[in-house]
Amino acid sequence: MNKKNLIKIIEKVLYYTIGYIWYFSIYLVLIPYIIYLLGRNLDALVLNYLLGLSSVFYFGFISIIIASIIALLGLSLIAWSFYVLYFYAKCFPFAACPFIHFNPKKLATYGPYSLIRHPMTLGYLFLLIAFGVYMGSIMLVVWIIPIVGIIFYEYIKHREERRLALWFGKEFEQYKQKTPMLIPNFFKSKKD
């Protein structure tokens, strides 16, 4: 193995490591912690102080089962999306920086990407909902997570989809016309 190949391998491992650290620290630690604090404080303000109710509702074993089912659905969707992006589109899904060698080589239209354009984001929103159900926070599920969903929607629409349009042009525009962004349309006609 020559020095140039070794440097490329080290560089790739370093970029992948930075991508994973960035992704996991932001999406699995920072965002859930912030929305937990917001949800807990809104529960206390609205339910406890304004309505005189308990600020957190615990449903016990039932909420754990419901949260586990929702989390499993979200994790499955993320794992399936990761698999398709990595092996089908030949890209690194958790890149921290827009390095050209992390860009997709093909437009992902297979698997979950045949149902919606951003299944990994939908899976993450399922994880946040599961977190809110597990914590028993009504405000987290009813207010905070929908607001986070709107923020993600706007980010995807203005940042990720513009990059995809630049990379894939007309192919992406056709895909965009027939595939919904975040909510699958299971009732569309077979002609579409």
Query: Residue 189's pLDDT is what?
Result: 53
Query: Residue 144's pLDDT is what?
Result: 86
Other C-beta atoms closer than 10 Å to the C-beta of 173 total 11
Query: Residue 44's pLDDT is what?
Result: 77
Residue spans per domain, the chain = 3-178
Report DSSP letters for 77-141, one per residue. HHHHHHHIIIIIS---TT-SS--GGGS-SS---SGGGGT-S-HHHHHHHHHHHHHHHHHT-HHII
CATH level 2 (architecture), domain 3-178: Up-down Bundle (1.20)
What lies within 8 Å, CB to CB, of 148 at 6+ separation is: 31, 35, 125, 128
Query: Residue 95's pLDDT is what?
Result: 57
The model's pTM is 0.80
Contact criterion met (CB below 8 Å) for 122 and 182: yes
Residue ranges for the chain with pLDDT beneath 50: 192
Query: Residue 76's pLDDT is what?
Result: 97
Query: Residue 119's pLDDT is what?
Result: 94
